[in-house]
Structure 1
Amino acid sequence: MTSALHKTVQCLSPGGLHTMAYQEWGDPHNPNVLLCLHGVTRVSDDFDQMARALSDTYRVVCPDIVGRGRSGRLRDPQYYVVPQYVSDIVTLLARLNADTVDVVGTSMGGLIGLGLASLQDNPIRKLVLNDVGPNLNPEALIRIADYIGADMRFPTFEAAAAYIKAISLPFGEHTDVEWHKMAADVLRQNADGEWVRHYDLGLAVPFKTSTVDSYKVAEMMLWAAYDAIKCPTLLIRGANSDLLSRESALLMTQRGPKPELVELAGVGHAPTFLHADQIAIVSHFLLG
């Protein structure tokens, strides 16, 4: 299938109901489901290339996590946190009627996959963690938080796209066409004709209310969750990543699911899966 079907599912948070939009590629009756989960300010469209490549084998499902893209916004931004996202994904899997699922998660999406895979009786068959793990680098998180909450507005698409490229350079080498797509996927025009990023600026609230102590507690909880994972796991790391250090990645290979580690030269946080060689790494793990 060369294009996706756009659908929505209704989910629940402590603040009320919200919609989660998702794209579905391939045969809707295929029992082999691949769930692709994006990073904190990205959207489902990040996985277009992977979905096209794997939709003959899988029913590929790519949601916009709440607060981003085509999905709804939460009434209370304090719930823009991983446990809420895991809950939404469970609701989505019920809609899909998926008994088992393979998961590819980039950054935040990887933490969602990690959280789900840690639960008893979870449906995950194989898990790919893309440049993320239980260790939290406070400096990298502060950088991300400052970026997320900035109310950036641009007079033209070109100016906005140049900004998206500038803050996304750690993604590694990409063509002008690829940079254009990555910008177009996360930009929209507001009522005043300005170009803005396509997510709720309230995403920054949980970051800004976090402290060093709360990060330490969160990291302990993430390690406990990671150690509970039983399914085969692949860990992909950008060799220049500032979010997942090499030391943390190597420690992950010795604990929990003891994943295979693949490092990508010339890439930071995080690999984009726009290129055939990166997609092949994931495909080989999932289908091998």
Structure 2
Amino acid sequence: MTEPVLDFVHCPDARGGHRMAFWQWGPAQAAHVVLCVHGLTRQGRDFDVLARHLIARSSQPLRVICPDVVGRGRSDWLADPMGYQVPQYASDMLALLHALHARHPIALLDHVGTSMGGLIGMALAGHRELPLPQPVRRLVLNDVGPQIEASALARISAYVGQDMVFDSLASAADAMAAISTGFGPHTPEQWLALSTPMVVPAAARSVDGRARVAGAPEAAPAQGPVRLHYDPAIAQPLRAITPEAMSQAEAAVWALYEAITAPTLLIRGADSDLLSPATAAAMRVRGPRASLIEFEGVGHAPTFVTPEQCEAVSAFLLI
């Protein structure tokens, strides 16, 4: 399979529910599911190269599921922006997994999470009482841990939530490259592939009064103005964090991490400003005692578009 299938699942929330989009790779009946969850401002097509790699390497049928977390990509926007937090995201993943399990039972469940997606993964794997259709068997955390550096949060907060409109896909890709230097070197073809799903036609959604809460716009046009695909209001919970709330959140995530029993692989960009060497070292001796792989010349966060990055994940999961 060279292209994924787009599908949707209904997820409950305090305002009556919303629709979450997800991209499915591989045969729908495959019992082994790998759930790949993206970072704060990204979307499920970030994992295209990794998904193809995993399916090609797997000796058994494999379903790779890559959701657009609510507020991003083809998913709905939330009526209440303060819902853009990990508890809602984890609840949405639970709804997705149960929907997938109802269609074709899941026998093995693995999770790959980049940044925010890794926090969601820790919530799923660390809440032992969570009614998952199967417990998380193996967990990959991509450049994230229970403690996030304050300087990285400040950097991210400086650009998240701006409702930027660009003259073309090319200009949008250039702007995203300027704020994504931590991703490391990419060929022009790799960067265009990562950038194209990040924008939609400029007229697809409006933030005026948050009137357009739902919908799944078409992909970005080859020509014409475009805007970033995500709801600018995802920034509101981030900017509302106080130092006291941040300290409490870190303690809660460490407790989740300590409760994880699944074998865990921690991937870190050697130049990451979000996951410090000290936090990575602590994760190797606490909780699941994660194995650590670092990639030189990369910051926050590895994008899984290079053979060595993809091979690190497949070697860990496909055993």
TM-score interval for Structure 1 and Structure 2 normalised by the shorter chain: over 0.9
Q: SS where residue 185 of structure 1 aligns?
A: helix
Alignment correspondent of 2:210: none
Q: Secondary structure at the match of 1:16?
A: coil
SS in 1 for 2:313: helix
2:203 corresponds, among 175, 186, 191, to: 191
Given that residues 32 and 107 in structure 2 are in contact (C-alpha distance below 8 angstroms), is that contact kept between their aligned partners in structure 1?
Answer: no
- Give the fraction of aligned pairs with identical amino acids, expressed as a percent: 48
Deviation of the 1:159 alpha carbon: 1.6
Q: Which letter maps to 1:237?
A: R
Kept in 2: contact 1:136–1:215 (CA 8 A): no
Q: State which of 80, 89, 101 in structure 1 corresponds to 2:84.
A: 80
**How far 1:99 moved relative to its partner?**
4.2
The answer for the alignment partner of 1:4 in structure 2 is: 4
What CA RMSD, in Å, does the superposition of the two structures yield over aligned residues? 1.2
Native 8 Å contact 2:165 2:202 kept in 1: no
CA shift, 1:15, in A, is 2.2
Tell me how far 1:152 sits from its aligned partner.
1.7
Tell me the residue number matched to 2:123.
115
Q: Structure 1 residue 65 and structure 2 residue 77: aligned?
A: no
Contact 2:269 2:299 in 1 (8 A): yes
Q: Deviations over 1:138-157 (max 9, x none)?
A: 22112112211222222222
Is structure 2 residue 86 aligned with structure 1 residue 100?
A: no
Q: TM-score, normalised by structure 1?
A: 0.97
After TM superposition, give the deviation of residue 278 of structure 1 in Å. 0.5
Q: 2:95 matched to which residue of 1?
A: 91
| Unmatched segments (≥5 aa) in structure 2 | 205-223
What is the TM-score normalised by the length of structure 2? 0.88
Alpha-carbon displacement from aligned partner over 1:80-101 (angstroms, at most 9, x marks no partner): 0001000000000001102431
Aligned match of 1:253:
284
For 1:131, the equivalent position in structure 2 comes to 143
Partner residue of 1:269?
300
Distance 2:73 2:7 in 1: 13
Q: State whether structure 2 residue 162 is matched by structure 1 residue 150.
A: yes
1:88/1:99 Cα in 2 relative to 1: closer, same or farther (>3 Å)? Answer: farther
What is the SS of the residue equivalent to 2:314? helix
Say whether residues 1:228 and 2:240 are aligned partners.
Answer: no
**Any stretches of 5+ residues in structure 1 without a counterpart?**
none
CA distance in 2, matches of 1:99, 1:16: 31
Offset at residue 55 of structure 1 (A): 2.2
SS in 1 for 2:166: coil
Separation in 1 of the partners of 2:263 and 2:309? Answer: 19
